[in-house]
Structures are given as C-alpha cells and as structure tokens.
C-alpha cells in the first residue's frame, strides 16, 4: 500500500511539474519555420500569427522561411527539432498532398508531428498573362485543346496547392498543360507577371490586387461559391468545369513528443487570435476565412485531408515530376 501511495505521489508531482512548465511556457523566443518562399500566403499569415502570439504570450515568435523541395526541407528540419515547443511548423495542404505524392520523404506527417491549430483557408484563382489570347475559361479550354502541351502553368513547387489545383484542372477539363514548378510562389508569380509563363493558380489573397489592376486576367476561382474579393469572376463550376473545388489552408504543427500541455496552450492562444473580430474582418477582406478547431479535431482534419488528396492523386494518376 505504501509503495502504491508513493508511486501516486511521484506521478502527482510529475504532473504538477509538467503543468507548471506549461504555464511558464514560453520562457524564450519561439521559432515558426515556414517551408515556403517569403511573400506567399504561408509567410504572410505566419507573420501575423507570430506577432499576435508574441503579444499574448510575452515572448517573441520569430518566422524563419526555409523553402525548397516542395516544403520538404523546412518540414524535415522541424521534424528533427527538439519537441519542446520552441520550434513549430507552419503547414499548408501541401503537406497532406505530399503524404501520397512524395512517399519517400524523410518524415511521415502524422507520425512525426502533432497538430496545434488551423489558421485559415482561402480560394485560389486561375489567372493568365495578358498576352495570352483568352478572356474567359471557355476561351482557355478551347485554346488548350487546340494546342495540347503548348501552354504552361507555374506553381510554387511539386505537391503545393497551386500544383494540385493545376493537375486537378487538367484531369477534370481534359487538357494538357505543362507544369513549371518554382522554389516558391513568389518566383512563380513574378514570372507570370513578367510573361515568362502563361498561367498560374494562386491564392486570391495575393493575386486579387494584380487582377484588379489588369496585370493578369482572372479566369475562374476555385471555391464552391464566388470569392468575396473577386465577385465578378466566376467559379470553375460556373465557367465550365463542374464539380471542381480546391483551396489552400494553413495550420501550425509541433514535433511529435511536444508536451500535450504546451500544445494545448498554443492551441488556445492561436484560437484566441483567429477568433478576434478584427482579424476575421481583415482576413475576410483579403479573401481568407479563419479556422478554429480543438487539437483533436485538427488532427482528424489533417488525416481526412490526407485521405481526400490520396484519392484524387491515385484516381487522376498524378505523379511528382
């Protein structure tokens, strides 16, 4: 009986120590690794979240961009980081796609990470350089079918939402476009604006202003309903590809083994940010919708998204270049 009581006291003391550690967290700056290029949606929203978390948690949250290999380089670095809550990963649905598209990765998403919280999602928009002789999605479909393999589209890298949106479009519309992967969305966007590439699927949050300024032609958005920031642009379904839908969403992960109390503390802090009326209004004007979930719900959301894209990839026979 005494041994059982002593074991109980030891366990109680350990639990108290962990709780105290979580309450004290963070005691030094926290790094958020963004495995995508600077200037894209992941980088932009990571900086908003970092600033707000720093204000509410009393320590600096520092964004570090580590792009490359379609998010693999930065993601692997975080997978190998100490699971102490001081190195986090800004993820997108690139990661859920890569679970099937890139099977020989140095990490497995739900084995090596734990979900903290989602951040937001936004529609994409298919845009063309003004020199391309099209003014609608119907025009593009006609041109692409007349010139198979002669038109191209840029993406921020293999497996990214921009790439998958293009591959899904090719499969559902029955057209042959050449994929040109970049190291990040900024380079792809720059070359589209400069006329080096024909087309791009990009987040409305970063491409809407270029479309409004006439620097690109917006042909269709990828959500189920029209985008609030590009209300005059039809959806893919309206414009000629029924059933098409693709978005980009963002969230935070921590290395597996991070203390649950710290993960929960971070979830509550992120939820507080994404629930702020001013954030919801600001992001809404940009075309992004904040997301709020518990850690368990977010883990399930990630797993469901992995399964969704696995089905799309296998059904459409999509492969990584």
pLDDT single digits (tens) 204-221: 999 999 999 999 999 999
How much is the average pLDDT of 121-145?
A: 97
Structure tokens at 167: 């591959």
Q: What Å distances lie between residue 303 and 99, 267, 299, CA to CA?
A: 10, 18, 6
Q: What's this model's pTM, rounded to 2 decimal places?
A: 0.82
How much is the average pLDDT of 184-196?
A: 94
Cα–Cα dist 184/187, whole Å: 6
- Res 15: pLDDT: 45
Please state which CATH number belongs to domain 123-239: 3.40.190.10
Structure tokens at 285: 């004007």
Domain boundaries of the chain, sorted by first residue: 17-122+248-316, 123-239
Whether the pLDDT of residue 203 is over 80: the answer is yes
- Res 319: pLDDT: 79
Which backbone phi and psi does 180 adopt, to 5 degrees? -120, 100
> In the predicted model, what is the mean pLDDT of the chain?
91
Note whether 17-122+248-316 and 123-239 share their fold: yes
Q: pLDDT tens across 42-101, in order?
A: 999 999 999 999 999 999 999 999 998 879 999 999 999 999 999 999 999 999 999 999
Q: pLDDT tens across 143-180, in order?
A: 999 999 999 999 988 888 999 999 999 989 999 999 99
- Res 320: pLDDT: 74
Whether the pLDDT of residue 227 is over 60: the answer is yes
Distant-in-sequence contacts of 302-306, Cβ < 8 A, 24+ apart: 302/95, 302/96, 302/109, 302/110, 302/115, 302/251, 303/110, 305/93, 305/96, 306/96, 306/99, 306/100, 306/109, 306/110
Distant-in-sequence contacts of 310-318, Cβ < 8 A, 24+ apart: 310/99, 310/100, 312/164, 312/168, 313/97, 313/100, 313/101, 314/100, 316/167, 316/168, 316/171, 318/101, 318/164, 318/167, 318/171
Whether the pLDDT of residue 14 is over 50: the answer is no
- Which residues, in sequence order, are CB contacts of 7 under 8 Å at separation 6+? none
Whether the pLDDT of residue 269 is over 70: the answer is yes
Match domain 17-122+248-316 to its CATH number in 3.40.190.150, 3.40.50.880, 2.60.40.10, 3.40.50.150.
3.40.190.150
- Res 239: pLDDT: 97
Q: pLDDT tens across 26-38, in order?
A: 999 999 999 998 9
- Res 3: pLDDT: 54
Largest interatomic CA distance in the chain: 84
DSSP state of 69: G
The two counts, helices (H) then strands (E), for the chain are 13, 10
- Res 315: pLDDT: 80
- Which residues, in sequence order, are CB contacts of 55 under 8 Å at separation 6+? none
- Res 321: pLDDT: 64
- Res 40: pLDDT: 85
- Res 90: pLDDT: 98
- Which residues, in sequence order, are CB contacts of 22 under 8 Å at separation 6+? 259, 261, 262, 264, 265
- Res 79: pLDDT: 98
- Which residues, in sequence order, are CB contacts of 17 under 8 Å at separation 6+? none
Length of the chain as a residue count: 321
- Res 16: pLDDT: 42
- Res 13: pLDDT: 45
């Amino acid at each position: 009986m005494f041994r059982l009581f002593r074991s109980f006291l030891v366990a109680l003391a350990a639990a108290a120590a962990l709780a105290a550690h979580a309450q004290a967290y963070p005691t030094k700056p926290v790094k958020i690794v963004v495995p995508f290029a600077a200037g894209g949606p992941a980088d932009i929203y990571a900086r908003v979240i970092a600033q707000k978390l720093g204000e509410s948690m009393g320590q600096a949250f520092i964004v570090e961009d580590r792009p490359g290999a379609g998010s693999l380089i930065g993601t692997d670095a975080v997978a190998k980081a100490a699971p102490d809550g001081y190195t986090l990963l800004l993820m997108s649905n690139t990661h859920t796609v890569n679970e099937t598209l890139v099977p020989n990765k140095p990490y497995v998403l739900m084995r090596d990470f734990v979900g903290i919280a989602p951040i937001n999602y936004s529609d994409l928009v298919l845009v063309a350089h003004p020199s391309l002789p099209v003014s609608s999605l119907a025009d593009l479909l006609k041109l692409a079918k007349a010139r198979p393999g002669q038109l191209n589209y840029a993406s921020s890298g293999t497996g990214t939402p921009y790439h998958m949106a293009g591959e899904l479009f090719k499969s559902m519309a029955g057209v042959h476009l050449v994929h040109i992967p970049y190291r990040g969305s900024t380079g792809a966007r720059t070359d589209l604006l400069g006329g080096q590439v024909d087309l791009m699927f990009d987040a409305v949050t970063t491409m809407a202003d270029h479309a409004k300024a006439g620097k690109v032609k917006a042909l269709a958005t990828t959500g189920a309903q029209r985008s609030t920031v590009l209300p005059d642009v039809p959806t893919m379904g309206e414009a000629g590809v029924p059933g098409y839908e693709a978005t980009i969403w963002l969230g935070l992960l921590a290395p597996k083994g991070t203390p649950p109390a710290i993960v929960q503390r971070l979830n509550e802090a992120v939820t507080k940010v994404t629930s702020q009326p001013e954030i919801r209004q600001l992001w809404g004007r940009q075309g992004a919708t904040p997301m709020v979930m518990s850690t368990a719900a977010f883990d399930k959301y990630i797993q469901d998204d992995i399964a969704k894209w696995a089905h799309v990839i296998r059904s459409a026979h999509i492969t990584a270049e």
